[in-house]
Amino acid sequence: MPHKFRRILALARLLVLDGLRRHALLGLIALSLAAEAGGLLFFDFVSRDIGRASSDFVISIAWITGFIFLFFHAVQVMALDEERRVIYSLVARPISRGEYVLGIFTGLAFLLFLLNFLLGGLGLGTLLLIKGMVAPVYFSHLSLGAFLLAWTGLFTMQLMLLAVILLFSGLIRGNFPVLLVSLSFYAICSGLPVVRESVAQKMTASVDLARLSKLLLGLTAVFPDFHRLDFKNFIVAADSFPSLDLLLTGFGLALAYTTIFLWLAAVVYQRRDLQ
Amino acid sequence: MITFSSVWKTYAKEITAKAHTALGGVSFSLANGETLGLIGANGAGKSTCIKLVMDFIRPDQGSITVFDDQPRNHLLRRRIGYLPETASFPANLTVLDMLRYTGATCQMPPKAIRDKGAKLLTRLNLWEARKRPLRDYSKGMQQRANFAIALLHDPELLILDEPMSGLDPIGRADILALILELKQQGRSILFCSHILEDVDRVAGRVLLLHQGKSLFEGAPAALCEQTGRATLADGFLKLVQGENVHAA
Amino acid sequence: MIRKIFLFCCLLLAYGGLFQHQERLFREEPLELAFPLAASIQKVALGYLRQLGGEMLFIKANVFLGGVKPGRDPYDYAESLSKHLDGAADLHPPFVDTYYLCNAMLPYIGPDYAMEANRILEKGMAAMPDNLILPFFVGFNFFYHLNEPIEAARYLKIASEKPTAPSWLGHLASTLAAEGGDIKGGVIWLRGMVATEEDEKIRERYQQSLAVFEQAANVQQAIELYTARHGQPPPDLPALVPEFVAALPQFPADYELAYTPPTLRLLRPHIEEQLKKRQQATHS
């Protein structure tokens, strides 16, 4: 077992080094840091709920940055590994295909973590600065615990998406098709809760709608509702924190989901030709 | 060391390409300490054989054993050094990064990786350029870097896919000398190449593939004798042209 | 070479000229607030960013309002403004600025938009159940813009029950209830407020109001008895004397009974007059 981890970590290290040396990624981080600092300008436009608006802005910038990282860098890493035969150089070593998948996931997850760590640190600093600059009634409460929770929720969502992208990269050949399918997946995840809500509102005694509702429920198991890991609103809410049951269920489900998709990705990679 | 038994491989039909049989019932073997050269025209199936040995692709029919085990066992690759046809690395890595990766996956201690890596890089004239990204290397330097990565863990079996491809005459001579040195050390070598003169110099036996079929397996001298030609290249041409006429 | 440089300079000049002209045209055009995409579409498109999307809709509306020229007919942009604020409330219900802006702008356009504002404020009430300002806004709109004191009283009562509500809110609710004809309801609320108020001076004021309300409630009961006896309400209040009530009550100057069969209302005449003047000034 320890040798397995060593192999996985060796591959992850390669990915981290490659990522840290990419000018495009460094540029993305710099831009995001500048955008987050731009949160200081936000209260020119918002007169009352400055705390909420600022915290939403800061975390949203992190989400956008993570989104760009996932759908452009991560998709490229997987797809171009095959297109440019880099994967041959990597799996020509005594590393199994399953370990390859886990190594890629670990490397990219670590890069995501670094990104979130940097943006989270600056984000918290920005919020504290804004809180100090406005009257308490406009920014009365800033919970560090809720801030960390919101960021953990964000990072968890990104890991789920990363696992899905890994699976798609194994099933589909080509950079652009993987990008399209991954974006479609995300769009379905965003749209499904809206459709479910709409169906629930129209549902009376209609059997058809009841069946449709069940189908949509099943689909939610595959296309998860990321809103359930969105804890942004708790950052500035006084005396308000989600229940332990809710948190454990949400994060437990996310962990299980990520593991299942990684497993499937490993199975796909085990079986397919690297061509 | 390597055994191919009636191996078939067909690349599946795609939207832009028809189904294509890359190997049609090919059999051959490579014994311990032997050097086997795979020769053939483009599309003969040489790279397919190598990909099958390395478990990059799987056969449709037949069996392949490497070190008396299935190629799927990834731990076998601890004993294999692979040189790809096209040097492809993640864009921003250095040869040191790749050496560390290779050593870690082969369970070498860090000190051994450092010492062996330094020795190989010096031998291959890459020590000064060790910290430059691999994408900045010339073709010859990339090929030598590939060799360093392939030899780091002291493999018993070397698989070289077009080792001389894209090199200038000096580069070719360097690589050739290296391969001969490795041969003298008693390593088993499977390599494919278009440059038949080099194959003639290095290989103890050759396997001639044409359109996925094996046309000849044996010593280069035996091929010349069979075809009544003086050189391996002429013998190869006669066999292949004869096969084309026969097929027509 | 020189010709190419000259042509390039001409191209730059042409671009500069067209740019200036376009800027001038748009400066003269009245500012428009384009309708936003439906909130459901924005929820799908924005996903995790929906809250930021709501804030952006608020900012857009706010910035637009800052640029509206005086004298422009608000009905020009009312619908689009309403959609922006509605969208912001849908996308980010706990964001309180939306509701403040909504109540600052929409009800003053007209009664239809006062109703629209109330609908948006209800979303905020659902999202922030402890917030007393939002039901207060709704109650205010019903009273000031829509002339529905009973509804106003209902929402002010809701506001008065919030954790940090000041005590005068309940008093105001009961006063409006009585204005609308629900004098008994006003009495019940006032009795509760007298019982729970700790400040002596405020309790004394409530007791004074309660005394007036109870007298008005007696007259209301007399009207009900008359109606039960005769099958129709009395034509005027003196018809109740002396059979159903000994005498009509005499109130202090700031209270007045108004009877429009079958409804008895307890009015605050001086406040009514001021409000009417203000409403006329606002809606003209």
Q: What is the pLDDT of residues A133-158, one digit of tens each?
A: 888 888 888 989 999 999 999 999 99
Tell me the pLDDT tens digit for each residue of B68-79: 999 999 999 999
Backbone angles phi, psi at B190, to 5 degrees: -115, 120
pLDDT of A204: 61
Please enumerate in sequence order all residues whose Cβ is within 8 A of that of B174, keeping only pairs 6 or more positions apart, or say none.
Answer: B140, B144
Please give the distance of CA B243 from its chain centroid, rounded to a whole number. 25
Tell me the pLDDT tens digit for each residue of A53-100: 889 999 999 999 999 999 988 988 887 666 668 888 899 999 999 999
Please give the distance of CA A163 from its chain centroid, rounded to a whole number. 10
pLDDT of C284: 58
Taking CA atoms, what residue in A is nearest to B100? Answer: A10
Residues B85-93, mean pLDDT to the nearest whole number: 80
Q: Would you say how long chain C is, in residues?
A: 284
| β-pairing verdict for B20-30 and B188-192 | unpaired
Q: Which domain holds residue A224?
A: 2-271
Give contacts of A233 with chain C, Cβ < 8 Å: 51, 94
Tell me the pLDDT tens digit for each residue of A1-13: 688 999 999 999 9
Cβ–Cβ below 8 Å for C92 and A230: no
Residues A185-201, mean pLDDT to the nearest whole number: 87
- Hey, CA dihedral for A48, A52, A56, A58, is it positive or negative? positive
Instruction: Report the distance separating Cα B90 and Cα C145, nearest Å.
Output: 68
In contact, C113 and C107? CB cutoff 8 Å: yes
How many domains are there within chain A?
1
Tell me the pLDDT tens digit for each residue of C245-270: 888 888 877 788 888 888 888 887 76
Name which of A273, A265, A251, A270 is nearest A102 in CA terms. Answer: A265
Name which of A26, A12, B48, B123 is nearest B38 in CA terms. Answer: B48
Specify the long-range contacts of residues C152-157, CB closer than 8 Å, at least 24 apart.
C152/C176, C152/C180, C153/C177, C153/C179, C153/C180, C153/C182, C153/C185, C153/C186, C157/C189
Q: Is the peptide bond before C262 cis (omega within 30 degrees of 0)?
A: yes
Helical pair C78-91 and C111-127, crossing angle rounded to 10 deg: 10
pLDDT of C51: 92
State the smallest CA–CA distance between residue C52 and chain A in angstroms: 6
pLDDT of A37: 82
Task: Place B234 in a pLDDT band, splitting at 50, 70 and 90.
Answer: confident
Backbone angles phi, psi at B15, to 5 degrees: -60, -40
A-interface mutation test, from C44, C48, C50, most A Cβ less than 10 A away? C48
Give contacts of A48 with chain C, Cβ < 8 Å: 96-97, 100
Task: Place B235 in a pLDDT band, splitting at 50, 70 and 90.
Answer: confident
Neighbours of A248 (CB within 10 A): 10
Instruction: Report the distance separating Cα A88 and Cα A98, nearest Å.
Output: 15
Cβ–Cβ below 8 Å for B54 and A92: yes
Residues A194-212, mean pLDDT to the nearest whole number: 77
Specify the long-range contacts of residues C110-116, CB closer than 8 Å, at least 24 apart.
C110/C75, C110/C78, C110/C283, C111/C145, C111/C146, C113/C78, C113/C82, C114/C141, C114/C145, C114/C146, C115/C146, C116/C82, C116/C86
The answer to whether residue A275 scores a pLDDT higher than 80 is no
Query: Out of A197-206, B106-115, C104-113, which region has the weakest mean confidence (pLDDT)?
Result: A197-206
Burial of C273 (0-12, 13-18, 19+ CB in 10 A): exposed
Task: Place A112 in a pLDDT band, splitting at 50, 70 and 90.
Answer: very high
Instruction: Report the distance separating Cα B53 and Cα B29, nearest Å.
Output: 11
* Burial annotation B136-164 (CB, 10 A radius, 16+ → b, else e): ebeebbbbbbbbbbbbbbebebbbbbbbb
Residues B109-119, mean pLDDT to the nearest whole number: 94
Residues A240-251, mean pLDDT to the nearest whole number: 87
Cβ–Cβ below 8 Å for C44 and A198: no
State the smallest CA–CA distance between residue A103 and chain B in angstroms: 12
CA torsion C119-C124-C126-C131 (nearest 10°) is -130
Cβ–Cβ below 8 Å for A85 and B86: yes
The CA–CA distances, whole Å, from A157 to A119, A225, A230, B144 equal 16, 10, 9, 43
- The terminus-to-terminus CA distance of chain B in angstroms comes to 37
Instruction: Report the distance separating Cα C152 and Cα C139, nearest Å.
Output: 4
pLDDT of C30: 66
CA torsion B238-B239-B240-B244 (nearest 10°) is 100
| β-pairing verdict for B213-218 and C263-267 | unpaired
In contact, A225 and A250? CB cutoff 8 Å: no
Q: Please provide the DSSP assignment of chain C as one string.
A: -HHHHHHHHHHHHHHHHHHHHHHHHHHHSPP--PPPPPHHHHHHHHGGGHHHHHHHHHHHHHHHHHTPPTT--GGGTHHHHHHHHHHHHHH-TT-THHHHHHHHHGGGT-HHHHHHHHHHHHHHHHH-TT-SHHHHHHHHIIIIIS--HHHHHHHHHHHHTSTT--THHHHHHHHHHHHHT-HHHHHHHHHHHHHH---HHHHHHHHHHHHHHHHHHHHHHHHHHHHHHHSS--SSGGGGTTTT-SSPPPPPTT-EEEEETTEEEEE-HHHHHHHHHHHHHHH-
Count Cα neighbours of C56 within 13 Å in the Cβ-side half-sphere. 13
pLDDT of C190: 80
4-43 of A, contacting B, C-beta below 8 A: 6-7, 9-11, 13-15, 17-18, 21-22
Taking CA atoms, what residue in B is nearest to A8? Answer: B105
Low-confidence ranges of chain C (pLDDT < 50): none
| β-pairing verdict for B35-40 and B205-210 | parallel
- The terminus-to-terminus CA distance of chain C in angstroms comes to 67
B interface with A, Cβ–Cβ below 8 Å: 11, 51, 54-58, 74-78, 80, 82, 84, 86-93, 97-98, 100-102, 104-107, 133, 149
Specify the long-range contacts of residues C183-191, CB closer than 8 Å, at least 24 apart.
C183/C213, C183/C216, C183/C217, C183/C220, C183/C264, C183/C265, C183/C266, C184/C217, C184/C220, C185/C153, C186/C153, C186/C213, C186/C266, C187/C213, C187/C214, C187/C217, C189/C157
Specify the amino acid at residue B43: G
Tell the CATH superfamily of the B1-67+160-174+182-248 domain.
P-loop containing nucleotide triphosphate hydrolases (3.40.50.300)
Of A123 and B232, the one with more pLDDT: A123
Query: Out of B6-10, B95-99, B145-149, C251-255, which region has the weakest mean confidence (pLDDT)?
Result: C251-255
Radius of gyration of the CA atoms of chain A, in A: 21
Task: Place B13 in a pLDDT band, splitting at 50, 70 and 90.
Answer: low
Nearest by CB: A194 against C40, C94, C97: C40
Q: Is the peptide bond before C107 cis (omega within 30 degrees of 0)?
A: no
Please enumerate in sequence order all residues whose Cβ is within 8 A of that of B222, keeping only pairs 6 or more positions apart, or say none.
Answer: none
C interface with A, Cβ–Cβ below 8 Å: 40, 43-49, 51-52, 55, 58-59, 62-63, 92, 94-97, 100
Task: Place B128 in a pLDDT band, splitting at 50, 70 and 90.
Answer: very high
Share of chain B above pLDDT 90, in %: 45
Task: Place A43 in a pLDDT band, splitting at 50, 70 and 90.
Answer: low
Instruction: Report the distance separating Cα B237 and Cα C86, nearest Å.
Output: 80
Name which of A21, A108, A102, A77 is nearest B96 in CA terms. Answer: A21
Share of chain A above pLDDT 90, in %: 47
Give contacts of A274 with chain B, Cβ < 8 Å: 51, 56-57
* Burial annotation A88-111 (CB, 10 A radius, 16+ → b, else e): bbbbbbbbbbbbbbbbbbbbbbbb
Neighbours of A245 (CB within 10 A): 8
Token representation of residue B157: 């079996």
Residues A119-130, mean pLDDT to the nearest whole number: 91
Q: Give me chain A's average pLDDT, please.
A: 88
Q: Give domain limits for chain B.
A: 1-67+160-174+182-248, 90-155
* Burial annotation A49-84 (CB, 10 A radius, 16+ → b, else e): bbbbbbbbbbbbbbbbbbbbbbbebbbbbbbbbbee
Backbone angles phi, psi at B89, to 5 degrees: -130, 155
State the smallest CA–CA distance between residue A181 and chain B in angstroms: 18
Of C206 and A166, the one with more pLDDT: A166
Nearest by CB: B84 against A21, A88, A94: A88
Nearest by CB: A47 against C51, C63, C97: C97
Task: Please work out, in degrees rounded to the nearest 5, the angle formed at the alpha carbon of residue C96 by the alpha carbons of C34 and A146.
Answer: 115
Q: Which residue has the tokens 């952006």?
A: C56
Name which of B58, C152, C275, C192 is nearest A271 in CA terms. Answer: B58
